[in-house]
Structure 1
Amino acid sequence: MALRLLKVPTIATVLVASSGMYFYNRPLDFNDLSLIRFGRAAATTAVISYDYLTAFKHVQYGTEEYWALKSKVHRRSAERLRDLCCANRGTFIKVGQHLGALDYLLPEEYTSTLKILHSRAPQSSMEEIEQVIREDLGKEVPIIHWDLSTKRVLTMEFAEGGQVNDREYMKAHGINVNQISENLGKMYSEMIFIHGFVHCDPHPGNVLVQKCPKSNKTEIILLDHGLYQVLQPKFRINYCRLWQALIHRDMAGVERYSRKLGAGDLYPLFACVLTARSWGAVNSGIACVPVTLSEDVEIRTNAALYLPQINDLLNRVPRQMLLLLKTNDLLRGIESTLQTRASSSSFINMSRCCIRALARHKRSQSRSGRRRLQITLTESFHLWRLSMYELFLWLKGSVLGLGLSTLLAFLH
């Protein structure tokens, strides 16, 4: 019983590990003391753990009473975590927002409770805001302009729109859910694989969608540009090659580039964590095998069973990878809510960006004009082949494709 429920109290432990002091020339607030915040987190972890260990003692596993009680324990534990995040603020809010986006991994009671942090996180008082503005900008009321941004103050224009996981908003405004999911994937593939400059906090409260009033085109708006990661070129290229190996079911490549990224002999677990797929799906090809309910159950179960190994893995990989894993989790949570997870278009767009990034890297390393031309021609050929495959998939799923299939079946 304890093993099955192990992963939930561990979430609170993650919150403890993610916290720290963040003083920066500001008046002392006892709520900001590490000892106070750590003590509060430790107490919450202890209460949640005790609840899970004692609540089911007199209930038979698998009965209706058991499942009802389990849901209640999940709910009150999630509320305790939410209250902890609100009390400790800072990093705890960020971690809580992350957990609230993991629909594909955590129980619904947790994600629905923590989702409130996406749009209704605790707000600093006007006095606190004005104090930081006065200290950093020397103004009482700043004009909305980038010149007024500092290390602690990021001044942005107000943006209209609905959250990216709000299907009802998109339906009401005539926004295509599949198009949003595809464009969000394109945007992040460009940031990660080509530019190496990544917005690492895409929880639903930071990603808005709207129809532009002037052009009537659908727009994706990224908010909160305070957490970016610059990927080192060597890391970025190895990451590109790893994803190419995963997409093309190149298991030798998966092992090679996982090891280069720090996973060591835990490369199978690393591939599963990175893709949020089972090892069987990774071996069969993540671009070929759809996500099934049984696979989701397997992933949730293994997330609890392999927590020590996952913790070991996360301690091995570089910080750049930790932020990318967080970003992947948040994007995957959005896809899960929009019901567009593991679509073929996402892998095609990812492959396209990997091809471009690797070709650019090879050209930068070559001094021969002939060799650079050869690299460019090879790049063009691979991109053309991808486009042909994309056209094939479109035809296959279109009315024309269905008509041709029916005609061919009739002729045979």
Structure 2
Amino acid sequence: MRLLTKVGVCASAVAAGTYYAKTSDDINSLGIVRFGRAAYTAAKIAVDYKILFHRIEKTDSRYPEEIHKLHLKSALCLHQLCCDNGGAFIKVGQHIGTLEYLLPMEYVQTMKVLHNEAPQSPLEELKTVIHEDLGQTVEDMFIEFDPEPLGAASLAQVHKAKMVDGKIVAVKIQHPKVKAHSFVDIRTMEFLVHALGWVFPEFDYVWLAEETKKNLPLELDFLNEGRNCEQVGRLLKKFKFLKVPKIYWEYSSERVLTMEYCEGGKVDDVQYMKDNNISVNKITEHLGELYSEMIFVQGYVHCDPHPGNVLVKQTRHGPQLVLLDHGLYQETEFKTMASSYLVEISSVLSRVPRQLLFLFKTNDVVRSIETTLHSRSSSTAFLNMSRCCVRAVADWEASRCRTWRCRLRTELHRQFQLARITLFSLYLWLLDSRLIGGWLQPKLSSFSSSFITS
């Protein structure tokens, strides 16, 4: 009975969507059309997989080729759905495009293009948003306003402009109907992931819909994004390689954010780095150091570091990272697996604390960037992470001390552990150095064993 009800609802939604498609000029604003489109796509994908699993056993020699074709076909259908519905669907599609260690590559590669090719809104509609929120026209606020966007994302697009005082700024403007669509889109995703979980009990992605429901309202508030931007700038000001844009509050609202214009290439653009003599290894080291500090020391984590939100630039002081899109941060108390474990990971993710999901997502995105850049395998990221962990634990222990002796003992222990990490990093450098030849290898290997054991 439940199955018949679900099928009936989906069929009704699809039929209504078809009707409105012929009678309305703006069918995408109708919730029933958006729901019907999503329900049809999900049902089609589910049926295709059920048919394949019934027709061919996994041990069959034809199975790898057949499952590859189906993954690709289904990924293209999902990509089309994201583009048609836009908004929250684009957001989820971008997340799928970063899960290289979890999902089939056909899905990852197909959805990854959404980082650079999100649908755009007409300029006149964006100007209306500015006028409604700020009470001024674009012509009154700026002496120049580039009609071509710098980039279009899931929730907004950014245009370059020049203020009256000559400052060059980037104006982030929310797509006009995203907020209005968000409630229906979230409910649609909740329904579909529960329905798919019922059809395929081994795949549990309810956690993804729950996180979208919780966080989308925060990301739709650009004033919240501006506050996050200033906060992370203060917390991480010690990193000279990091740049966060300045916010111009007098030209900002819940749907408009005006900020300093920052130049640079996308963090996964290998050709840009070659042309500008930027070391990809240095960039991945900086990324690891930056996010280790966020997670383990500051407890304030940028949760959407996809390639479109991180720029790189060569300066006279070396490579610089520009961190954009500060709409979603997670404050944590604690400062990736092969695709063959998809079922197990999905089961775990449905039960882990919500805070951990952001850390998993951040790890997925950073590792995706490293894979795209083909940076060398390096222990630097792990050493930086270890240093951050030592510092975080020592800070916590020091906060519980009541005497100067306790604080002194804690500080000495901190410095001792940091010195050990530095010594171990020297060992790794010697091990990799061509100067030492082969005669020192056994001695260093012996040292490594004793060091790790202790």
Q: Same fold (TM over 0.5)?
A: yes
Deviation larger for 373-382 or 53-62: 53-62
**Residues 79-228 of structure 1: matches in 2 within 5 Å?**
79-141=76-138, 142=141, 143=163, 144=169, 146-147=248-249, 148-212=251-315, 215=316, 217-228=318-329
Structure 1 match to 2:351 = 313
Q: Please tell me whether the aligned partners of residues 97 and 115 of structure 1 are also in contact (alpha carbons under 8 angstroms).
A: yes
Query: CA distance change for structure 1 residues 191 and 32 in 2, over 3 Å: closer, same or farther?
Result: farther
Deviation at 1:168, TM superposition (A): 3.2
The secondary structure found in structure 2 opposite 1:201 is: coil
Which residue among 413, 416, 420 is the counterpart of 1:385? 420
How far, CA to CA, are the matches of 1:132 and 1:383 in structure 2?
52
User: RMSD of the alignment, in Å?
Assistant: 2.8
Deviation at 1:66, TM superposition (A): 4.1
Which residue among 315, 340, 350 is the counterpart of 1:301? 340
Does residue 67 (structure 1) correspond to residue 64 (structure 2)? The answer is yes
How far, CA to CA, are the matches of 1:127 and 1:85 in structure 2?
23
How far, CA to CA, are the matches of 2:34 and 2:376 in structure 1?
36
Which letter does structure 2 place at the counterpart of 1:184? L
**Residues 33-44 of structure 1: matches in 2 within 5 Å?**
35-44=32-41
Deviation at 1:388, TM superposition (A): 0.8
How far, CA to CA, are the matches of 1:398 and 1:181 in structure 2?
21
Q: Please tell me whether the aligned partners of residues 103 and 336 of structure 1 are also in contact (alpha carbons under 8 angstroms).
A: no
The secondary structure found in structure 1 opposite 2:440 is: helix
Query: CA distance change for structure 1 residues 78 and 205 in 2, over 3 Å: closer, same or farther?
Result: same
Greater Rg over alpha carbons, structure: 2
Structure 1 match to 2:235 = none
Q: Deviations for 1:124-180, whole angstroms, at most 9, x for unmatched residues?
A: 222332232223222222443522233332223443333222333323332222211
Deviation at 1:389, TM superposition (A): 0.6
Deviation at 1:56, TM superposition (A): 6.3
Q: Please tell me whether the aligned partners of residues 209 and 219 of structure 1 are also in contact (alpha carbons under 8 angstroms).
A: yes
Q: Please tell me whether the aligned partners of residues 396 and 402 of structure 1 are also in contact (alpha carbons under 8 angstroms).
A: no
Deviation at 1:365, TM superposition (A): 2.9
Aligned residues: 313
How far, CA to CA, are the matches of 1:60 and 1:369 in structure 2?
68
Deviation at 1:71, TM superposition (A): 2.4
Deviation at 1:65, TM superposition (A): 5.0
In structure 2, stretches of 5+ residues that fail to align are 1-25, 142-162, 164-168, 170-246, 445-454
From the two aligned structures, give the one with the greater helix fraction. Answer: 1
Deviation at 1:353, TM superposition (A): 0.7
TM-score between the two structures when normalised by the length of structure 1: 0.68
Deviation at 1:95, TM superposition (A): 1.5
How far, CA to CA, are the matches of 2:345 and 2:411 in structure 1?
44
Query: CA distance change for structure 1 residues 348 and 30 in 2, over 3 Å: closer, same or farther?
Result: same
Query: CA distance change for structure 1 residues 340 and 363 in 2, over 3 Å: closer, same or farther?
Result: same
Q: Please tell me whether the aligned partners of residues 103 and 337 of structure 1 are also in contact (alpha carbons under 8 angstroms).
A: no
Q: Please tell me whether the aligned partners of residues 301 and 330 of structure 2 are also in contact (alpha carbons under 8 angstroms).
A: yes
From the two aligned structures, give the one with the greater strand fraction. Answer: 2
Q: Please tell me whether the aligned partners of residues 56 and 66 of structure 1 are also in contact (alpha carbons under 8 angstroms).
A: no
Deviation at 1:400, TM superposition (A): 2.4
How far, CA to CA, are the matches of 1:36 and 1:71 in structure 2?
30
The secondary structure found in structure 2 opposite 1:402 is: coil
Query: CA distance change for structure 1 residues 341 and 45 in 2, over 3 Å: closer, same or farther?
Result: farther
TM-score between the two structures when normalised by the length of structure 2: 0.62
Query: CA distance change for structure 1 residues 154 and 342 in 2, over 3 Å: closer, same or farther?
Result: farther
How far, CA to CA, are the matches of 2:345 and 2:417 in structure 1?
38
Q: Please tell me whether the aligned partners of residues 288 and 384 of structure 2 are also in contact (alpha carbons under 8 angstroms).
A: yes
Query: CA distance change for structure 1 residues 40 and 62 in 2, over 3 Å: closer, same or farther?
Result: same
Does residue 370 (structure 1) correspond to residue 405 (structure 2)? The answer is yes
How far, CA to CA, are the matches of 1:57 and 1:367 in structure 2?
67
How far, CA to CA, are the matches of 1:135 and 1:346 in structure 2?
46
Deviation at 1:199, TM superposition (A): 1.3
In structure 1, stretches of 5+ residues that fail to align are 1-28, 241-275, 278-298
